[in-house]
Structure 1
Amino acid sequence: MEVALELIDSMLVKFRSEKKWTLQALEQLSEEDITSSPTSESNSIANLVAHIRGAVHSRIETVLLDIPDTRDRDKEFEKGLKMSKEQAIKMTNDAFDILIQYLEHLKSRPALLMSQPFLNRPPLTYSQVNNETTALNLMIAMVREVHYHTGQIIYAAKIRRGQLVWNYD
């Protein structure tokens, strides 16, 4: 179990770090920055935040909190998606808090990493993981997914604002 705990701790560090940097970037943006897209083919920060929150809902809340999957993935990518800065910050906090809560749950029961949390549930919507996936594979997919999109958020924030100010505490 030592390897399982080390892996969970590593993911916790990763998600806490991603949360910190993403929130710092969002705090430096205006309402217009949140909803503007770098190009006509690009997603806005609002789209990316909604997408991260949607992925967390369909992949984690359904297991951890037994909430039915009601995700509308297409809406996450609507052009011109409206979202206030406060909404973006709240959605980001919520998404990361749920991820961290799930990892803390796994940490208290590391054998669950090899469980198949979706096995007896309805088919997943809009997911790269299937109902036979393990909790370990799910979390590896979430590390990749979240890191990819938080990188896009920070890059879009830099495009909008130029230099961002980082607090390394």
Structure 2
Amino acid sequence: MEIAIELIESMLGKFTSEKKWTLQAIEQLSEDDIISSPSPESNSIANLVAHIRGAVHSRIETILLDIPDTRDRNKEFEKGLKMSKEQAVTKTRDSFDIIIQYLEHLKSTPELLMSQPFLNLPPLTYSQVNNETTALNLMMAIFREVHFHTGQIIYAAKIRKGQLVWNYD
């Protein structure tokens, strides 16, 4: 189990760091920055935050908190999606906190890393993983998805603000 703990701790460090940088970027934006898209084909920061929150809900909250999957993925990508800066910060913080909570749960019970948490749940929707996936594969998919979209959030924030100010503490 030593390698499992190392992997989980590595993911915890990565998600903690990703949370910090994403929140710092969002906190420097205006309400208009949150809902503006870099181009007509692009997603706004509001869309990206909603999408991350939806993915975390359908993939982790259904396991960790036994909450039924009520995700509306299409709504996450609606053009003109309204979201305040405060909502963007809260949804981002909540998403990362849920991921980190699940990783802490796995760290305390590393044997669950190879479990199949969705096996007896309704079929997954909008997911790269299926109901036979392992907790490890789920976390790898979440890792890829969240990192991809937080990169887009930071890039969109730089487009809107030019230079961002980073706190490295």
Q: Which bin holds the TM-score, normalised by the shorter protein?
A: over 0.9
- State whether structure 2 residue 156 is matched by structure 1 residue 163: no
Deviation at 1:131, TM superposition (A): 0.1
Secondary structure at the counterpart of residue 40 of structure 1 = coil
Within 1, Cα distance between the matches of 2:141 and 2:151? 15
Number of equivalenced pairs = 169
Aligned amino acid, residue 88 of structure 2:
A
Specify the alignment match of 1:2 in structure 2: 2
- Say what the alpha-carbon RMSD is for the aligned residues: 0.3
Runs of 4+ off more than 6 Å: none
Segments of structure 2 that go 5 or more residues without pairing to the other structure are none
Within 2, Cα distance between the matches of 1:33 and 1:167? 20
- Map residues 18-57 of structure 1 onto 2, 5 A cutoff: 18-57=18-57
CA-to-partner distance for each residue in 1:34-90, whole Å, 9 max, x for gaps? 000000000000000000000000000000000000000000000000000000000
Within 1, Cα distance between the matches of 2:14 and 2:65? 22
- State whether structure 2 residue 74 is matched by structure 1 residue 60: no
- State whether structure 2 residue 84 is matched by structure 1 residue 84: yes
Aligned-residue identity in percent: 85
Specify the alignment match of 1:134 in structure 2: 134
Deviation at 1:125, TM superposition (A): 1.1
- State whether structure 2 residue 108 is matched by structure 1 residue 108: yes
Specify the alignment match of 1:154 in structure 2: 154
With the length of structure 1 as denominator, give the TM-score of the two structures.
Answer: 1.00
Within 1, Cα distance between the matches of 2:9 and 2:146? 17
Within 1, Cα distance between the matches of 2:14 and 2:115? 22
Within 2, Cα distance between the matches of 1:47 and 1:135? 26
Within 2, Cα distance between the matches of 1:53 and 1:31? 19
Deviation at 1:146, TM superposition (A): 0.3
